[in-house]
Amino acid sequence: MRIFFVFWIVAFLATGVAIGGESLPQQTPSGNAPSGAGAAVIHESQPQSLWPLPNATEWYWYEPAENLSLPEAEAALKEYKEIEVYLSSLKRGGVVNEMMLVVQKKKPASITCLTTASGPALPVTITVDATLKEMRLGYSSAQDAGKKWLVLLDYDFWGKQQFYFDTQGKARRFMDILASLRKLADLPALPRDRFGFRTLDLTPAQADALGKSRIENALVSVVYSGGPAEAAGVNFLDLITAVNGVKVRNAGHLDSILSDTKPGAPLRLSCLERSAAVNGDAKTRAWKPKVVEMIAK
């Protein structure tokens, strides 16, 4: 009798009904994964146009050297001639024929660029001050043949200056010059991307395609070639859902988490990776969970 009673209890609980009348949690079938699910696969059936394409500019991880003296930097600048430049603030471009260093109180202050351009004169001044907030190295496949290597300077007030070079070595050397001049001017090194990737928020349509009821997480939009993220296995269009177990609310929240991470600290990124087409259907993709481990720079 006791054996029969135990068997009845086990069978009763297996039906998924608790003694108090509430349903016990059921196993989630494959399909849209709930938050925190491990092995589930999220399917999306949307056209490719719903997701961003890789940018025409491939960005590279580079840490500029800061060891040039003032005479060395000034001499190196004189070697730069016929450099293509584009100013985002004026939406105009031209050619830099000569670069001249301006020194004030024995410290570098700016670089005056003598340019030629179709139409009105094109004023180009590279300031060595705190308004310069970022410097990036890229390779633009959309640029004319011969001058595809790009150094982008981003200013707080002036917008972006884009300089194009025919070799990667010249572009890197140009960054070395600017980094050295900032150090000689007693300015802090420019902040650099410590992790080697950038993210965006999901759009409402993208969130809906992933079966999400709200916009959350952060979509990887750029991975720097040669950077720590690429080496660790972060890919373009990875969806970062958590960092060290902390759920990522959006791209801004991820930036906050990463900025608070000390150099040398381990990072465990929980991601969803957009994989190959499902059953040969190019419009249907599977997003599979993966974990990426890296060390903060």
3-state SS string for 130-167: CCEEEEEEEEECCCCCCCCEEEEEEECCCEEEEEEECC
Tokens of 30: 């494959």
**Is-contact 76 65, C-beta < 8 A?**
no
Q: Tokens 């993210």 label which residue?
A: 199
What pLDDT was estimated at residue 286? 84
CATH fold for the domain made of 33-53+194-295: Pdz3 Domain (2.30.42)
* Separation between Cα atoms, residue 126 and residue 28, nearest integer Å: 58
CA atoms within 13 A on the CB side of 265: 14
Rounded (5°) CA angle 167-64-252: 105
Tens-digit pLDDT string for the chain (297 aa):
444 333 333 343 343 333 233 222 222 333 334 333 444 677 777 666 788 888 889 999 999 999 999 999 999 999 999 999 999 989 999 999 999 999 998 999 999 999 998 878 898 999 988 899 999 999 998 887 788 999 999 998 889 999 999 999 999 999 999 999 999 999 988 887 889 999 999 999 999 888 888 999 999 999 999 999 999 999 999 999 999 999 999 999 999 999 999 999 999 999 999 887 777 776 677 889 999 999 988
Q: Is 135 exposed, middle or buried (0-12, 13-18, 19+ CB in 10 A)?
A: buried
Q: Which residues of 33-43 are buried (b: 16+ CB within 10 A; e: fewer)?
A: beeeeeebbbb
Q: What CATH architecture does domain 62-184 belong to?
A: Roll (2.30)
As beta bridge partners, residue 199 has 220
- Dihedral in degrees, nearest 10, Cα atoms 285, 290, 294, 297: 40
Q: Tokens 């001017």 label which residue?
A: 185
- The distance in angstroms from the start CA to the end CA of the chain is 67
What pLDDT was estimated at residue 155? 93
What pLDDT was estimated at residue 40? 60
What pLDDT was estimated at residue 46? 67
What amino acid is encoded at 47 in this protein? Answer: P
The domain locations on the chain are 33-53+194-295, 62-184
pTM for the full model?
A: 0.79
DSSP code string of 70-130: HHHHHHHHTT--SEEEEETTTTEEEEEEEEEEEEETTEEEEEEEEEE-SSS---EEEE-ST
Instruction: Give the list of residues 6+ apart from residue 155 with CB closer than 8 angstroms, or none.
Output: 127, 131, 132, 133, 161
* Separation between Cα atoms, residue 106 and residue 283, nearest integer Å: 62
What backbone torsions phi and psi does residue 70 show, to the nearest 5 degrees? -60, -45
* Separation between Cα atoms, residue 177 and residue 69, nearest integer Å: 9
